[in-house]
Amino acid sequence: MPSPLAERSLGAAVLALVVGDITAFAADAIVNAANSALRGGGGVDGAIHRAGGPAIMAELRARYPAGTPTGTAVATGAGDLPARWVVHAVGPAWAGGGHGEREQLASAYRSALAVAAGLGARTVNVPAISAGIYGYPLPEAAEVAVGTIADVLRSDPGSVERATFVLRPQTIDAFRRALAAIR
């Protein structure tokens, strides 16, 4: 993993930001920005399925044939990825902000970390959920993402020790601002 562009200690845990390909960096768990059908897609979801191989989709179909609702997360093995698990978190599609999107996005991050912690993951790599094709405005998506992960890391000491947002170059500035605003 490259050196973090920014990082913050939150009690015993660390929240970091890096730019790169989430499928290339080792962690105990990698969070996938999944759709509620859990049937693959574009963006991060497509990249994770391509890099991880068909075992991930086969496990999703066998274990979660009905998918999972927006704001929740489920886990599978990681296939060929440099991780033990993939946590598939479903964020909301942006619909103007008045349809519970903020709460659903925060819930997706909380659920992802809870699932990862339940598996015993100490290191978790996380994408910018809903900030791509789902159209969530980047500044608000970054604020919700960083704030929620920071709250989880502070409130559950000794569980996940390091959460690293693995971001695209065009998203890093919004996440840096959100991380700097954490108190």
Element spanning 85, H or E = strand 85-90
Mapped onto helix, strand or coil, the DSSP state of residue 14 is strand
The string of pLDDT tens digits covering residues 9-22 is 998 999 999 999 99
107 CB-side CA count, 13 A: 13
The catalytic residue positions are 45
Confidence of residue 2 (pLDDT cuts 50, 70, 90): confident
Dist. CA 160–CA 137, nearest whole Å: 27
- Per-residue pLDDT, 97: 94
DSSP 67-117: ---TT-EEEEE-TTSSSSEEEEEEPPPPSSS-SSHHHHHHHHHHHHHHHHH
Confidence of residue 111 (pLDDT cuts 50, 70, 90): very high
6-180 is classed CATH 3.40.220.10? yes
Q: Tell me how far the alpha carbon of residue 175 is from its chain's centroid.
A: 13
The string of pLDDT tens digits covering residues 45-93 is 999 999 999 999 999 999 999 999 999 999 999 999 999 999 999 999 9
Mapped onto helix, strand or coil, the DSSP state of residue 92 is coil
